[in-house]
Amino acid sequence: MVGSAIVRKLEAEGYDNLLLRTSKELDLRNQQAVNDFFAKEKPNYVFLAAAKVGGIAANNTYRAEFIYENLMIESNVIHAAYVNKVTKLLFLGSSCIYPKLAPQPLKEDSLLSGYLEPTNQPYAIAKIAGIELCDAYRAQYGCNFISAMPTNLYGPNDNYDLEKSHVLPALLRKFITAKKNNDPQVVLWGTGSPRREFLYVDDLADACLFLMEQYNEAGLVNIGIGNDLTIKDLAELVKKTTGYQGSIVWDTAKPDGTPRKLMDVGKLKQLGWEAKITLANGITKVYEQVKDFDWK
């Protein structure tokens, strides 16, 4: 989802010298394959958007895979970028790097100030390691490697697997399916009380290009929209957008996850960038793209 959005943005801005590989063509977990690619192609700029990602269920179930694969991807790519003298690299992390009970909205300096949310701790630790890798290579070798932490994302090419997806695509699939099947109710996890922020992925891509052009410092930059809503309100918004007429039932035996994850985007605003696509408009865009999907 993120990689394809960045490609769309670059192509729209007139870039035509893009080095693209699918995960089947280049396994970033394989150090030799990554080294060979960098040595042959010699990229000047790297957007490191590749990661193993998922929602609360996937993070908690595949804990070993989430920490191992993400550590391998970022270690291989960042080191190869250093060896091959890449001009600049942007590493993308996640808002889950912040402590579970960090003050809201989440400021960049809250990193490592407390305990992480247990369900996604392996993934978060891997992403924190990526930030530290960028800063360490900058400090020791002078590499212009920067880090950005997006809030929850949605948009074209999202993952709609109910076991592995994030909350917004999961809600879209559940309500679209329930509408098609005339189901009387949709069952959702938790209490609906946690608050979340959502950024349309094309806005993220715009921010990534902005940072690649404008930001050259250690540390990290939050990328978000600057406001949030409860999962319950999000579910009602998706229900309204899809036109589903049934009821919503909350399975409170299931976990809620982090109570709130709102990004403080003051640093990015000061640099000169703000999100443009509202949540309501973004969900409508996505619904029009996926409403006729045949999910089995």
Structural domain that includes position 244? 2-290
Of residues 58 and 216, the one with the higher pLDDT is: 216
Q: 127, 70 in Cβ contact below 8 A?
A: yes
Residue 230 backbone zone (phi > 0: left; psi -120 to 50: alpha; other: beta): beta
- List Cα–Cα distances, 161 to 54, 166, 167, 169, 296, in angstroms: 9, 9, 11, 8, 10
Is 81's pLDDT higher than 70?
Answer: yes
Q: Count how many domains the chain has.
A: 1
**What backbone torsions phi and psi does residue 150 show, to the nearest 5 degrees?**
-75, 150
CATH number for the domain that contains residue 123: 3.40.50.720
Name the average pLDDT for the chain: 95
Domain-embedded: residue 142: yes
Is 239's pLDDT higher than 70?
Answer: yes
255, burial (CB in 10 Å: exposed 0-12, middle 13-18, buried 19+):
middle
Residue numbers in the known binding site for NADP(+) are: 92-95, 127, 150-153, 166
Instruction: Please give the pLDDT value at position 46.
Output: 98
Instruction: Please give the pLDDT value at position 161.
Output: 85
Q: 51, 73 in Cβ contact below 8 A?
A: yes
Residue numbers in the known binding site for substrate are: 174, 189, 196, 256
Instruction: Please give the pLDDT value at position 60.
Output: 84
pLDDT band at residue 240, thresholds of 50, 70 and 90?
Answer: very high
Instruction: Please give the pLDDT value at position 190.
Output: 93
The token duo for 263 is 């990004």
Least Cα distance to 214 among 270, 263, 285, 288 occurs for 270
- DSSP labels, 220-266: EEEE--S--EEHHHHHHHHHHHHT--SEEEEETTS---SSEE-B--H
Catalytic position from the list 123, 137, 154, 244: 123
Domain-embedded: residue 243: yes
Domain-embedded: residue 57: yes
Is 141's pLDDT higher than 70?
Answer: yes
Domain-embedded: residue 295: no
Is 119's pLDDT higher than 80?
Answer: yes
Q: How many residues comprise the chain?
A: 296
> pLDDT for 42-69, tens place per residue?
999 999 999 998 777 778 888 999 999 9
Instruction: Please give the pLDDT value at position 255.
Output: 85
pLDDT band at residue 296, thresholds of 50, 70 and 90?
Answer: low
Taking the alpha carbons at both ends of the chain, their separation in whole angstroms is 21
Q: Is the pTM of this model over 0.75?
A: yes
Instruction: Please give the pLDDT value at position 260.
Output: 83
> Is 123 labeled as catalytic in the residue annotation?
yes
Residue numbers in the known binding site are: 92-95, 127, 150-153, 166, 174, 189, 196, 256
Question: CA 12 to CA 100: how far, in whole Å?
Answer: 38
Question: CA 126 to CA 69: how far, in whole Å?
Answer: 9
Instruction: Please give the pLDDT value at position 34.
Output: 98
Helix axes 2-12, 201-214, angle to 10 degrees: 60
Domain-embedded: residue 296: no
Is 277's pLDDT higher than 80?
Answer: yes
> pLDDT for 26-36, tens place per residue?
999 999 999 99
Instruction: Please tell me the number of Cα atoms within 13 Å of 247 on its side-chain side.
Output: 3
Question: CA 264 to CA 246: how far, in whole Å?
Answer: 36
Dihedral, CA atoms, 228, 94, 101, 266, nearest 10 degrees?
A: -60
- DSSP labels, 149-206: EE-EEE-TT----TTTS-HHHHHHHHHHHHHHHT-SEEEEES-S--EE-EEEHHHHHH
Of residues 257 and 170, the one with the higher pLDDT is: 170
- Which is it for the CA torsion 222, 224, 226, 228, positive or negative? negative
Q: What is the average per-residue pLDDT within 187-216?
A: 96
- List Cα–Cα distances, 229 to 5, 91, 212, 253, in angstroms: 24, 27, 30, 22
Q: What is the average per-residue pLDDT within 202-219?
A: 98
pLDDT band at residue 105, thresholds of 50, 70 and 90?
Answer: very high
Least Cα distance to 244 among 200, 181, 155 occurs for 181
